[in-house]
Structure formats: C-alpha cells, structure tokens
Amino acid sequence: MCNSLASNLLKPGFADAALDLAEKAGGLHTLPRMMCDGLAANLLKPGFADAALDLAKKAGGIHTLPQMMCDSLAANLLKPGFTEAAFKVARRAGGVDQLPALMCNGLAARLFISDFTTDLHAILDIAEELSVDVPMTLARLVKQDSEFLDYVSSIRNRLELRNDDERRECLRGLAGGSGGGKRAKPQWAEGQLVEVQGDCGYKGSWWPAKIREIAPPPKQSATVVYSYNGTETDTVAKRRLRPVPEVAPLAEKDLGVGSELEFFWKGEAWWEIVVTEIRGDGAIHVSCWSGANEY
C-alpha cells in the first residue's frame, strides 16, 4: 500500500470511489498504479473521476488512465480549458494517443496558461512552415528538454511597469535582503500566513499561503493552502517556508538599473526580479530570468 493510498483511505467515500474507478480502468489490478500518483489526492474532488475517465477514453482507451494520472496532470485536470489545450498539443504531437506521454512532465502545469500555449503553438507553426517535422520538434523540445518549457514560459516574463501606482502595488524590496547576522529559527503554527519558495523568477519566487497542518516530528514538513485560489494544497519542507516579510516601501533610489526587487506576478506570487532598464518616461523594464533566459 503506497503512501498516497494509505493517507487517503479513511476519507469518507474514498475507498468506494477508488474501487469504482479501478474497475472502470480495467480491473482492480490497476488500483496500485493509479493510487500512487496524483489521482489519490484529487479523487474526491467533484467531477474529477468523470473528467479523468473521459480524458482516458479520448486518449486511446480506459487502459491509459493509470499512466496518465501523474501528479501534474491530476493537479490541473479540472482547470478551465486544460483538456482542450492538452488535446490540441497531443494532436500536433501525432495524435491523441500521445497524450499520456506528454502529460507526465512540466507541460501539464503550463497548459491552462493561455500565453504559454499561444507561444508554444506559434513556435510549432514556424516549424511547420519551414517543413520541419512538428511531432518530432514537439517531442524533442517538450518531452526531452525541460529547459525549453522554462524558455517558452519566460518569453512573456519581460515586464514593463508604466507608472507609480503600478510600482507601489506590484513591487517591493527583496525580502530578507543580504544582511548579516544570525536569524532566529522561525516558529510555525497552523493558520499562520507564510510564503512558499518556488523556482520561477530571476532567482526564485515566493507564493503566499496559509499553513493548514504541521507534520509531527521527525517530519520537517507542513501542508499549506495557496492564497491565489484558496483551494490548492501542497505539502512542503519547512525549509521552503518563510514568514510573511515586513518590507519597507520602495524609494526612488531602490529603482536603479541592477536593483533586485520582488514583483507580484499576476496576483499569485512574488517573483524575484532585476531592473534592466529605466526609460526616459519612467517606465521600468525588468527581467524575471537570469543566464541564457535573461531579457
């Protein structure tokens, strides 16, 4: 019995829902494979089981369900527009039977972002016009090269903040700074507002959340609910948490080229950024990425 199945087994209705889904997916022997992925954590969400079965049928048959129910697909399945976007990409990869292989990587987590899918299909359109094999291009770039996903995501991360109001609302100084001295070890409590460290951004990002549950020792983790939608939960290591920082208002001196700041991206997370240009009209250009992906 895998961890995800065991941790959900006592939830009201979970066992019946799991058995019912397994039978529809080809038999009870499919249960261990399906329950050790993101499916177990999402199974009781209204409409999830039906959406998963429908997706599997369209992807080649119910037998494809176990291999598709990886964490990234299960977490995104009910997001508006996800299924349509997934099939559109799969068709360009050679057919709907390509869907299971495509969904178990970072692609699934980005498909509901319209900017990303627009840019991805624009790139595939160019490949088609140049008589480049589109399915092979997609397979090489998406399945085998995760850096490509980051690159496409970063295309629109070059930002321009046009006025003082936007600066005040969306920018803050780099929380924590680089000051020396030893800091007290934070104490965590259920219900506490925190920020969770992420990978996106110039050096990283911080996602506002609330602690729902703290794992008992010796585990060093906590379950949080992200603030941007109020429903998505995640279990994260405590080392990835920080208390909501107290950050002083920005002054003009903080807005020079090379300044490292935090930008509240799309009302979801604080992205660490660097100012790359300040135009004569006061507009600020910033970069959310470093190295090869800097703009």
| pLDDT tens digits for range 213-252 | 999 989 999 999 999 888 889 999 999 999 998 877 677 6
* The pLDDT value given to residue 292: 33
Q: Is the pLDDT of residue 179 over 80?
A: no
Highest mean pLDDT among 111-115, 189-193, 288-292: 189-193
* The pLDDT value given to residue 294: 36
Q: What DSSP line would sit under the chain, residue for residue?
A: --HHHHHHTTSTTHHHHHHHHHHHTT-GGGHHHHHTSHHHHHTTSTTHHHHHHHHHHHTT-GGGHHHH--HHHHHHTTSTTHHHHHHHHHHHTTSGGGHHHHHSSTTGGGTT-HHHHHHHHHHHHHHHHTT--HHHHHIIIIIS-HHHHHHHHHTT--EEE-SHHHHHHHEEE-TTTT--SPPPPP---TT-EEEEEES-SSS-EEEEEEEEEEPPTT--EEEEEETTTS--EEEEEGGGEEEPP--PPP-GGGGSTT-EEEEEETTTEEEEEEEEEE-TTS-EEEES--GGG--
* The pLDDT value given to residue 122: 76
Report domain extents, the chain.
3-154, 159-175+188-293
| pLDDT tens digits for range 87-124 | 888 788 777 777 777 766 567 767 766 667 777 777 77
Q: In this predicted model, which residue has the larger pLDDT, 230 or 53?
A: 230
* The pLDDT value given to residue 290: 40
Q: In this predicted model, which residue has the larger pLDDT, 150 or 173?
A: 173
